[in-house]
Amino acid sequence: MARVEHCDIIVIGGGSAAFEAAIAAREAGAARVVMLEKAPEAEYGGNARYSGTGFRFVHTGAAEIRRFVPDIDDALFATMTIPPYSAADFMADLDRMTQGRMNRELAHTLVEQSNAAVHWMRNIGIKWEPLKEHAKVDGKRYFERGIAIHVAGGGIGQLTQWRRIAEELGIEIRFESPVCALHGDLRRVEGVTVSAFDGHYHLMAKAVIACAGGFQANPEMRARYLAGNTDSMKVRGSKYDTGEVLRLLLDLGVRSAGQWQSGHMSPIDANAPDFETPQHEDGRGNTQSRYDYPFGITVNALGLRFFDEGEAQHSYTYAKTGRAVLGQPGARAFQIYDQKGLKCLRYPHHKATFVEAGTIGDLAAKAGIEPAVLMHTVEEFNRAASDDTPFDPRRADGKATKGIAIPKSNWAIRIDEPPFRAYPVTCGITFTFGGVEVNRNAQVMSTIDQPIKGLFASGDIVGLFFHNYPSFTGQTRNAVFGRLAGKSAVAEN
């Protein structure tokens, strides 16, 4: 007979959503909170480990952001232009990105509670830094609306801070503890079965909070749900996010939500590892992200452009651009810049794969593209770029191409200042959009439209997004719904 243990709250997972839920439950009065993490201790934390940890949230501008970064020099802070971001701005971004398909109630919850959730993190000791991704012009730093800070130390920095806080609160973290079954039905959940080294055991609790991530690291599930060659694509985050807890929930009778054929997919270095793209040692973000395409053109292996690189700031397009790359021959493309574009790069590129040449023809030959085609593409693009509007990397500048089949709507500067560079890219999946439905209390809903007693969820396992995603919303969603899940799980009992 397998042994049976008891606790108050079980949290499945070891990423940021899990820590936030566990800490909120403990703060709300749960005596014994146990986190069950499938990964070994050296690899705990799921996608959080690889995350840039940027947070998008409603705020009133520079003075409020200053409270998150009190230690940075006054002179440096004075160079930062940080515009306010209202609830209406955040809602409009979510609406536009998801084409109005996101659950309204949950979108409102996310927006309305984003500020309180991020301040909650600050109040319990999480340290912050200004985002590195901003435009630098004439010694000033211009931040986009809504995105100004990230957690100090990036992915590992965030996890280390969460773990310290959790352990100080007496939360128990069990590594190498995959959950392989749920106890309960579509009316009530009472515990889980854990597949431990020394055999299965049952852990029973007043509530279970599922924070086990998406299914992006499972090629079989990607092929089944996302289709279109997604089984062969690279995975930017944790190899442990394989979706089995999501399947257990669906089998129980949980209602599914979000877009199951879609996910957050962005351009990454074509030579990135198949899983788990590394961060910079100093926490400056991921070494393999290639988000700077607005300042150049992108062509496929045939030398042809295939999307509007300047549709909007990358924060509004990068999560769908990976899928566009996946659809190209060999699932590859090349981001091409001249010296003007290279000066605008915001993401750390020092470990990037690229080729460089003094002419477009030589660049094409080095990249393995037919030179005549790439030269034609660049000449056609340069002819369509106009001098009517000044170039301004700080904002969507309206400097658009004219009379070309695939437009570039902003930042259409000519590719004419050598040496030129071509960065090979492919598609990397970040997380999947299909998941379980929750209500405003982060309680999981059943297919009979009832909240399931004792069952809550937060993070990528929740189905929320459709089509696209405004950057840095994942971490905020985790904080908002993780906090709600922890509080609600305790309040229900």
Ligand X SMILES: Cc1cc2nc3c(=O)[nH]c(=O)nc-3n(C[C@H](O)[C@H](O)[C@H](O)COP(=O)(O)OP(=O)(O)OC[C@H]3O[C@@H](n4cnc5c(N)ncnc54)[C@H](O)[C@@H]3O)c2cc1C
Told to check if 47 binds ligand X by CB under 6 A, we report yes
Rounded Cα distance, 78 and 73, in Å = 9
Give yes or no for residue 14 binding ligand X (CB under 6 A): yes
Minimum Å gap between C-beta 468 and ligand X is: 14
The nearest distance, CB 27 to ligand X, in angstroms, is 18
DSSP 279: B
CB-wise, 220 or 370, nearer to ligand X?
Answer: 220
Helix (H), strand (E) counts: the chain: 13, 24
Q: Indicate the SS3 state at residue 96.
A: helix
Using CB under 6 A, which of 15, 191, 258, 486 touches ligand X? 15
Q: Which is nearer to ligand X, 167 or 370 (CB)?
A: 167
Number of residues binding to ligand X, judged by CB under 6 A: 45
Best CA proximity match to 145, nearest among 53, 265, 60, 51: 60
**Per CB under 6 A, 313 contacts ligand X:** no
CB of 263 to ligand X, least distance (A): 11
* Selected range binding ligand X among 64-72, 116-124, 327-335, 453-461, rule: CB under 6 A: 453-461
- The answer to whether 469 contacts ligand X (rule: CB under 6 A) is no
Q: At what angle do helices 473-491 and 104-123 cross, to 10 degrees?
A: 90
Residue 113 parent element (H or E): helix 104-123
> What is the amino acid identity at position 68?
F
List 85, 295, 472, 481, residue binding ligand X (CB under 6 A): 472
Phi, psi of 426 (to 5 degrees): -135, -170
Q: Which of 9, 10, 12, 207 binds ligand X (CB under 6 A)?
A: 12
Does residue 474 belong to the site contacting ligand X (CB under 6 A)? yes
Cα 170 from Cα 164, distance rounded (Å): 10
Among 130, 153, 157, 237, binds ligand X (CB under 6 A): 237
Window 198-217: residues binding ligand X (CB under 6 A) = 211-213
Name the CA radius of gyration of the chain, rounded: 23
Smallest separation (angstroms) from ligand X to the CB of 247: 10
The side-by-side arrangement of strands in the sheet containing 33-36 is 172-174, 33-36, 9-12, 207-210, 451-457, 443-445
| Part of the chain binding ligand X (CB under 6 A), chosen from 60-68, 236-244, 308-316, 322-330 | 236-244
Task: Report the residue from 38, 132, 346, 399 that binds ligand X according to the rule CB under 6 A.
Answer: 38
* Distance separating alpha carbons of residues 67 and 367, to the nearest angstrom: 47
Contact 471, 55 (CB under 8 A): no
| Site map (CB under 6 A) of ligand X, residues 247-286, x = contact | ------------------------------x--------x
Q: Using CB atoms within 10 A of its CB, is residue 239 exposed (0-12), middle (13-18) or buried (19+)? A: middle
Restricted to residues 378-437, the positions that interact with ligand X (CB under 6 A) are 430-431
Strand order in the sheet with 147-151: 54-56, 147-151, 128-130
Give, in order, the Cα–Cα distances in Å from 277 to each of 162, 292, 294.
22, 17, 22
Q: Which stretch binds ligand X (CB under 6 A): 97-105, 165-173, 303-311, 454-462?
A: 454-462
**Residue 146 to residue 96: CA distance in whole angstroms:** 15
Stretch in the footprint of ligand X (CB under 6 A) among 90-98, 160-168, 341-349, 459-467: 459-467
Determine, following the binding rule CB under 6 A, whether residue 166 of this chain makes contact with ligand X. Answer: no
Of the candidates 414, 356, 353, 346, the one whose C-alpha atom is nearest the C-alpha of residue 380 is 414
Least distance (Å) between residue 256 CB and ligand X: 16
Which one of residues 58, 65, 179, 436 is an interface residue with ligand X (CB under 6 A)?
179
- Cβ contacts of 81 within 8 Å, gap of 6 or more: 62, 140, 141, 142, 143
Applying CB under 6 A, among 95, 244, 379, 492 the residue interacting with ligand X is 244
Binding site for ligand X (CB under 6 A): 12-18, 36-39, 44-48, 50-54, 178-179, 211-213, 236-238, 240-241, 244-245, 277, 286, 430-431, 459-461, 472-475, 478
